């Protein structure tokens, strides 16, 4: 397949805001690809080169891109910068300055060259990236060059979520969405949209894909219920676990011969996985599938010791900072361990433990379809007597009185709340399910849960807040491919939070509203930002509101904390806001 066919797809998608139309257009292209081309296409339309859990980025700042465009077009840097100032888009600049050329490169050619740019590291790598990219741009037509530059700059935002890609694959092969559930299962256990596309179009049964140690599984999430009575009615007899206010972590320990990411594909990209030879490898992945192994060396060592006894395993839990007396540190203190550099110093300053509540793989088999009680038994054998990696407490309950008592105990012990789990439930990767229910509030009049939202913009501060540069900010939640507003927040922030917010805003500021935002004109902020600042918001309740594009508003919203551990894809959805609204009214069955 010629790369220009992908460019034509992008051009047509830019002309529509309808998700179904985007799905149809992508399906038409998938119908013409080989399995390998579908793999590459799945990554590229999502604006990346590899699965989310593989740490490969283009790593080219605006200055380097300007130099690459200058070399590719034989124009001066000043001329490119002037064009960028006028257009606000380096893709448009290269499109105007490039010479007319015949589109001859195939998708594989372009992908491989972009991959070379991304993986180039070390001394002199920036100059090398500039040379490689400019060389590629000289081979492309103006329209192809436009989108390649946007890819490298991270500006391709066309509404192709992974779920849209899965729908498109089903339409391409079946003519409808009948295979969507199977595709989603495969994606949830592999976290690799490209691999799913490759195997699906190659005729592999999606249900044969399972958990592989070393490859992160999309984590299961809990639903909410508003009262103890509703919980008991919904779950019957269930397990109760404390809800820790830490970082979600998935810990993998496996022998060096373990199959990962499909060996038939790894051979093509094996430099990604070049690691020191060890009898056992340990990987730790965040909620958002980021590899955070290097941040927690003490957990790595504990997991290696556990592997000696238990063999390959994948376990799910929370990492939380602890004081000398064993009490838990606040979430923001734990988050200070989330760093690439200076880890050694923080290990002694902020010791952590991993509290494990589930197992996804053990005893050489996938554990997802086993019941909670069965998985718990397996988990006890894996954890053993480790001091650093511990088993979360669990007890069975079947009535409101005991549940209320357990909740009060959890509050006294400093836990965030309770997790309630059906005893016969399976681990549903990537799903939010009533098999798990979280309960975080103490009073019937409060909102049943916090909201994870994305900051879309901010308003200039006035009066005393003028010194911070920002006086309030606007947040939204996801609705399909869009971000819709739910709250304008200007109270409850400390001076330190205002300063931190301003710093985050300034490095993400953009000139125009990002295309995925739906913001009423009456709420238009002074500053627009990229959808990258995730915040946890608490509020008294949710009300219906004509003011916000979500049609709902948070009443008395307050910033609880910044969530560096979450991505845009993990924030609260409008559907979840509606559920919380119904919980507050006592209408959720």
Task: Please state whether beta strands 352-362 and 313-321 pair in parallel, antiparallel, or not at all (unpaired).
Answer: antiparallel
Rounded distance between C-alpha atoms, residue 582 and residue 589, angstroms: 9
Residue-level pLDDT at 587: 59
Average pLDDT (204-213) is 95
Which CATH superfamily is 221-439 part of? Answer: DNA ligase/mRNA capping enzyme (3.30.470.30)
| Kind plus residue range of the DSSP H or E element containing 397 | strand 395-397
DSSP code per residue over 493-549:
--HHHHHHHHHHHHTTEESS--TTEE--GGG--SEEE-TT-EEEEE-SEEEE-SSST
3-state secondary structure of 247: strand
Q: What pLDDT band is residue 270 in, cutting at 50, 70 and 90?
A: very low
Provide the phi-psi class of 414: left if phi over 0, else alpha when psi is between -120 and 50, else beta. left
Rounded distance between C-alpha atoms, residue 313 and residue 211, angstroms: 10
More confident site: 545 or 156: 545
Q: What pLDDT band is residue 312 in, cutting at 50, 70 and 90?
A: very high
In the set 243, 421, 482, 566, the catalytic residue is 243
243 in catalytic set: yes
DSSP code per residue over 527-542:
EEE-TT-EEEEE-SEE
Q: What pLDDT band is residue 387 in, cutting at 50, 70 and 90?
A: very high
- Return the CATH class of domain 451-585: mainly beta
DSSP code per residue over 115-128:
HHHHH--STTHHHH
User: Which of 90, 68, 39, 22 shows the shortest CA–CA distance to 268?
Assistant: 39
The token pair that represents 271 in the structure block: 């430099």
The token pair that represents 139 in the structure block: 């081979």
User: Which of 153, 142, 184, 158 shows the shortest CA–CA distance to 29?
Assistant: 158
For the packed helices 3-13 and 35-45, what is the interaxial angle rounded to 10 degrees?
Answer: 40
pLDDT greater than 50 at residue 503: yes
Rounded distance between C-alpha atoms, residue 185 and residue 182, angstroms: 5
- Return the CATH class of domain 3-153: mainly alpha
Residues 6+ apart with CB under 8 A from 521: none
Over residues 224-245, the pLDDT tens digits come to: 888 899 999 999 999 999 999 9
Inter-CA distances, 113 with 133, 139, 142, Å: 8, 11, 17
pTM of the entire predicted model: 0.84
Average pLDDT (127-146) is 96
In the chain, ranges of CATH 1.10.3260.10 domains: 3-153
Rounded distance between C-alpha atoms, residue 345 and residue 356, angstroms: 25
In the chain, ranges of CATH 2.40.50.140 domains: 451-585
More confident site: 191 or 258: 191
3-state secondary structure of 193: helix
Burial degree of 322 (CB within 10 A; 0-12, 13-18, 19+): middle
The token pair that represents 501 in the structure block: 């917010």
């Amino acid at each position: 397949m010629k790369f220009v066919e992908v460019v034509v797809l992008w051009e047509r998608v830019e002309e529509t805001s309808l998700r179904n139309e985007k799905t149809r257009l992508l399906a038409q292209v998938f119908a013409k690809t080989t399995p390998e081309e579908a793999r590459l296409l799945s990554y590229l339309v999502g604006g990346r080169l590899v699965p989310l859990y593989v740490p490969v980025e283009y790593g080219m700042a605006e200055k380097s891109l300007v130099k690459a465009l200058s070399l590719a077009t034989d124009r001066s840097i000043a001329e490119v910068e002037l064009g960028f100032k006028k257009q606000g888009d380096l893709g448009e600049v290269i499109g105007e300055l490039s010479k007319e050329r015949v589109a001859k490169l195939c998708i594989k050619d372009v992908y491989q060259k972009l991959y070379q740019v991304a993986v180039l590291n070390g001394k002199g790598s920036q100059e090398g990236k500039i040379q490689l990219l400019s060389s590629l741009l000289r081979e492309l037509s103006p329209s192809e060059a436009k989108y390649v530059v946007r890819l490298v700059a991270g500006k391709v935002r066309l509404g192709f979520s992974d779920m849209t890609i899965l729908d498109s694959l089903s339409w391409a092969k079946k003519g409808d969405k009948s295979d969507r559930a199977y595709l989603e299962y495969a994606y949830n256990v592999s976290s690799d949209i490209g691999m799913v596309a490759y195997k699906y179009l190659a005729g592999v049964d999606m249900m044969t894909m399972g958990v592989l140690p070393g490859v992160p599984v999309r984590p299961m999430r809990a639903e909410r219920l508003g009262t103890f009575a509703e919980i008991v009615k919904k779950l019957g007899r269930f397990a109760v676990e404390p809800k820790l206010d830490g970082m979600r972590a998935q810990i993998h320990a496996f022998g060096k011969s373990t199959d990962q990411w499909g060996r038939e594909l790894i051979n093509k990209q094996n430099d990604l996985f070049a690691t020191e030879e060890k009898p056992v490898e340990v990987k730790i992945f965040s909620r958002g599938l980021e590899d955070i192994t290097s941040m927690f060396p003490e957990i790595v060592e504990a997991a290696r010791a556990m592997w000696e006894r238990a063999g390959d395993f994948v376990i799910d839990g929370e990492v939380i900072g602890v004081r000398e007396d064993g009490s838990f540190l606040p979430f923001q203190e734990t988050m200070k361990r989330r760093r690439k550099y200076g880890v050694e110093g923080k290990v002694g300053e902020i010791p952590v433990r991993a509290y494990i509540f589930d197992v996804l793989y053990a005893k050489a088999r996938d554990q997802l379809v086993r019941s909670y009680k069965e998985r718990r038994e397996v988990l006890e054998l894996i954890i053993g007597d480790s001091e650093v990696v511990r088993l979360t407490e669990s007890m069975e309950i079947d009535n409101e009185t005991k549940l209320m008592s357990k909740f009060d105990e959890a509050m006294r012990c400093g836990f965030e709340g309770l997790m309630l789990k059906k005893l016969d439930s399976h681990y549903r990767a990537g799903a939010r399910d009533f098999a798990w229910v979280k309960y975080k509030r103490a009073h019937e009049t409060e909102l049943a849960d916090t909201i994870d939202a994305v900051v879309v913009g901010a308003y200039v501060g006035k009066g005393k807040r003028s010194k911070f540069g920002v006086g309030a900010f606007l947040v939204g939640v996801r609705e399909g491919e869009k971000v819709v507003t739910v709250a304008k927040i200007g109270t409850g922030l400390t001076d330190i939070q205002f300063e931190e917010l301003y710093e985050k805003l300034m490095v993400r500021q953009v000139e125009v509203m990002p295309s995925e935002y739906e913001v009423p004109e009456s709420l238009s902020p002074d500053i627009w930002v990229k959808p990258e600042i995730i915040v946890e918001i608490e509020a008294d309740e949710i009300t219906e509101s004509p003011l916000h594009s979500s049609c709902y508003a948070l009443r008395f919203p307050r910033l609880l904390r910044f969530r560096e551990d979450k991505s845009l894809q993990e924030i609260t959805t409008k559907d979840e806001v509606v559920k919380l609204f119904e919980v507050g009214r006592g209408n959720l069955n």
